[in-house]
């Protein structure tokens, strides 16, 4: 089975590992802060004028959170990954420059300037540490961070903010063009296979999420949050494996369905697809059907549902959108189930026994202490 | 190829991309299985592997390249399935029997 999994044994320092690394870093800046996203998403879903319980006072928190708090948290975390607490502090300072330089949620800008300034500070520290006289560590440490942070905030205001705003603008109009021409479902052709190769977090939190919040800030909701996170295609695949998959895999499928659909950990179905790579077609068809349904019914979410569980979906669905959202998830699950089921039935040659033999041999080798 | 004797294993780290999703799930399952062995099981993002004390790293095949890059000298066990994986079952067996464990 391992033959199908590209990042397996040998030379895997290639393009994919590097891309995954970059994507991992983007996602690594967002995922630790998901709790704050959920707080913001719930405030939005509940208290904005079109929400469940419209409330002017509580909804006044929505703007400051999305425009200030969330980008600063991303810049903070990005800085921390590069250079610990000092990196986190300078990342936050510089992110403020990016934020006030534009009027859109600056997630991408924060993802750039947070780690960048932390990286610069790391080098400043490397130079200053050896020449700092004893007793002056605190003075020099605080002022080097303070001065570099001030310059970083200015750089963000003048440079990174406007550039990222322009890039976001171009990408945003590209997405609107896809939506206007009913071409958005084609995105599934790229998204679903990349997802299976463990780029799910990079795609969602690194690309689609930051574009989605810009849209959500303008119109209150965005379809972009649903392109990668839809649990429907994975659900269909797992049900197909449960009913028609290799015998060795059937037993674990029901548990995987619960973890995937309710727990939102999509990673659990990737190995099933990697063992029968043709099944990725089911994921693509399911994904495209889902996106098409969301598009036709005109629904969106107020925030990224993370993890991609049905519960998270329901929590960030604005009132009035539930029918379209549920319909899209159900249809995508059905479509991916039908396609995957046929693929599994047609490839009747059961690879699982060969796998099992290979695994047994490996097990013997291991016991022999090789 | 790195290897280690079961009696020297004090802590196993399960790695995933963010260190918050799938690794937590696998780590909790494994911790239950190894409770009697006195081995702790923790989870971490791949990029923090170096700073996380461990004797054995457990990682999904899709991220194994980055795990090896991060900690080239550690015993890295690769698994394919998040539920009912054969390699993980073998690892548990080897730890319970006191065997020597090497990369795989």
User: Model confidence over A112-139: pLDDT tens digits?
Assistant: 999 999 999 999 999 999 998 888 888 9
Q: Which of B21, B45, B99 sits opposite A267 (nearest CB)?
A: B21
Query: Do the chains contact at A362 and B18, CB–CB below 8 Å?
Result: no
User: In the prediction, which pLDDT does A242 show?
Assistant: 92
What mean pLDDT, rounded, does chain A reach?
A: 84
Mean pLDDT for the stretch of residues A288-296: 93
Question: If phi over 0 gives left and psi between -120 and 50 gives alpha, with beta otherwise, what is residue A303?
Answer: beta
Q: What is the pLDDT of residues A235-270, one digit of tens each?
A: 999 999 999 888 878 888 888 898 899 988 888 888
Q: CB distance from A370 to chain B under 8 Å?
A: yes
pLDDT in tens, A18-44: 776 777 778 788 888 888 888 888 888
How many domains are contained in chain B? Answer: 1
Is the model's pLDDT at B52 over the cut of 90?
no
Ramachandran area for residue A228 (φ above 0: left; ψ -120 to 50: alpha; else beta): alpha
- Nearest CB to B81; choose among A13, A263, A271: A271
Q: Tell whether B78 is covered by a domain.
A: yes
Interchain CB distance below 8 Å, B84 and A251: yes
Out of A7, A307, A370, name the one closest to residue B65 (CB). A7
| B54 domain residue, yes or no | yes
Q: Looking at residue A363, what is its pLDDT?
A: 54
Domain that holds residue B55: 8-95
- Ranked by mean pLDDT, the top range of A8-17, A146-155, B10-19, B30-39 is A146-155
Chain B residues in contact with A1 by the CB 8 A cut-off are: 80
Chain B contacts of A252, Cβ < 8 Å? 81, 83-84
Distance CA A102, CA A111 (A): 15
B51 found inside a domain: yes
Alpha-carbon distance of B43 to B49, in angstroms, equals 9
Q: Is residue B103 part of a domain?
A: no
ipTM of the shown complex: 0.74
Has residue B1 been placed in a domain? no
Residue B104 lies in a domain: no
C-alpha torsion sign, points A322, A221, A293, A338: negative
**B101, part of any domain:** no
Q: In this predicted structure, what is the pLDDT of residue A117?
A: 95
Does the pLDDT value for residue A369 go beyond 70? no
Max avg pLDDT among A6-10, A26-30, A186-190: A186-190
Neighbour count for residue A37 (Cβ, 10 Å): 24
- Residue at token pair 């990668």: A228
Q: pTM for the complete prediction?
A: 0.77
* Strands in chain B per DSSP E: 3-5, 11-16, 40-45, 56-60, 75-79, 100-102
- Decide if B102 is inside a domain: no
pLDDT at A11 (0 to 100): 40
- The mean of the pLDDT values for chain B is 82
Residue A10 confidence class, pLDDT cut points 50, 70, 90: very low
CATH number at residue B86: 3.40.50.2300
């Amino acid at each position: 089975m391992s033959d199908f999994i590209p990042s397996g044994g040998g030379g895997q320092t290639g393009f994919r590992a590097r891309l995954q690394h970059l994507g991992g870093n983007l996602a690594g800046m967002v995922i630790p802060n998901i709790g704050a996203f959920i707080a913001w998403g719930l405030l939005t879903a509940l208290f904005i004028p079109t929400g469940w319980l419209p409330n002017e006072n509580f909804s006044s928190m929505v703007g400051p959170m999305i425009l200030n708090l969330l980008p600063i948290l991303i810049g903070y975390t990005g800085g921390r990954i590069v250079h610990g607490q000092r990196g986190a502090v300078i990342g936050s300072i510089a992110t403020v420059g990016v934020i006030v330089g534009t009027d859109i949620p600056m997630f991408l800008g924060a993802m750039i300037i947070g780690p960048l300034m932390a990286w610069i500070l790391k080098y400043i520290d490397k130079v200053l540490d050896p020449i700092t006289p004893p007793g002056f560590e605190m003075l020099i440490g605080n002022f080097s961070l303070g001065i570099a942070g001030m310059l970083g905030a200015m750089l963000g205001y003048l440079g990174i903010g406007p550039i990222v705003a322009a890039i976001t603008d171009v990408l945003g109009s590209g997405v609107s063009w896809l939506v206007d021409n009913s071409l958005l479902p084609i995105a599934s052709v790229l998204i679903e296979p990349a997802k299976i190769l463990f780029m799910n977090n990079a795609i969602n939190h690194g690309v689609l999420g930051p574009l989605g919040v810009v849209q959500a800030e303008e119109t209150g909701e965005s379809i972009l949050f649903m392109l990668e996170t839809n649990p429907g295609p994975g659900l269909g695949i797992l049900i197909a494996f449960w009913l028609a998959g290799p015998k060795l895999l059937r037993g674990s499928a029901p548990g995987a369905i619960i973890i995937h659909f309710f727990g939102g950990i999509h990673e659990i179905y990737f190995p099933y697809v990697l063992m029968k790579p043709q099944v990725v077609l089911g994921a693509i068809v399911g994904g495209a059907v889902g996106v098409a349904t969301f598009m036709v019914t005109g629904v969106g979410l107020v925030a990224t549902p993370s993890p991609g569980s049905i519960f998270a979906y329901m929590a960030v669905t604005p009132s009035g959108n539930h029918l379209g959202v549920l319909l899209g998830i159900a249809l995508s699950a059905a479509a991916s189930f039908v396609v995957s089921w046929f693929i599994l039935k047609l490839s009747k040659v059961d690879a699982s026994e060969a796998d099992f033999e290979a695994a047994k041999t490996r097990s013997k080798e291991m016991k022999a202490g090789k | 190829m790195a290897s280690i004797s079961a009696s020297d294993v004090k802590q196993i780290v399960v790695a995933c991309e963010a260190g918050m999703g799938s690794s937590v799930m696998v780590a909790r399952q494994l911790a239950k299985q190894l409770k009697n062995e006195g081995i702790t099981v923790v989870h971490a993002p791949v990029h923090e592997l170096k700073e996380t004390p461990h004797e054995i790293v457990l990682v999904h095949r899709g991220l194994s390249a980055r795990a090896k890059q991060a900690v080239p000298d550690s015993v890295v066990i690769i698994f394919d399935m998040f539920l009912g994986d054969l390699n993980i079952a073998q690892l548990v067996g080897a730890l319970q029997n006191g065997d020597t464990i090497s990369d795989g």
